[in-house]
Chain A
């Protein structure tokens, strides 16, 4: 069966520090991969999605970037975090059009 791993579960970072969040999927090949952010009490905001290695689409231009160095690995990065980057970051995977997405456990990021 397919599983998705996301780490770390929680992270506290100072303003201006770098960020790297990693997500890996097991049990499937060539998944579509997604990064979302959820602010407290709010809906899901799609940040990036990828349909293949090295293929990244950005939905919200900001100081975040994403990379997909391997088929089942998706990384969210920042060179300098802002206070507004705080939130619940979720990685998700899907198999294609008309199919649901399934989420990892998420990373709760707090910026101090």
Chain B
């Protein structure tokens, strides 16, 4: 059974700090990796996609992928209170059209 694991948190960081969110996955043939942000009471919003080993940067967000270690992370630089949300990691495997979601990490950025 494919599994995606995330620390549930809550993770608290001060405003302006770097928030680091981690995710591990069990299926070695996974090919696509996504981070979603979900504000309380709202639906998940896609914020990052990554497919190759290494780093991918988009504004204050950096996704990091290490397929050998089956590990994907999301760094949020200069964290803002508006970044406070639950962050979901999702993994796609092979040609499957389904994604496996982690249970999410709750992030709180303290002013």
Which residues in A have some Cβ–Cβ distance to B below 8 Å? 32, 34, 42-44, 46, 49, 51, 90, 94, 96-106, 108
B interface list, Cβ under 8 A from A: 31-32, 34, 41-46, 49, 51, 88, 90, 92, 94-99, 101-104
Contacting A32 at CB < 8 Å: which of B43, B97, B102?
B97
Are A101 and B43 in contact (CB-based, < 8 A)? Answer: no
Rounded to whole Å, the gap between the CB of B86 and the closest CB of chain A is 9
The answer, among A42, A90, A96, A98, for a CB contact under 8 Å with B43, is A90
Closest Cβ of chain A to B49, distance in Å, is: 6
A-B CB pair tally, cutoff 8 Å: 51
The answer for the CA separation of A93 and B41 in the assembled complex, in Å, is 20
Q: If A103-B45, A106-B43 touch, does A96 touch B103 (CB 8 Å cutoff)?
A: no
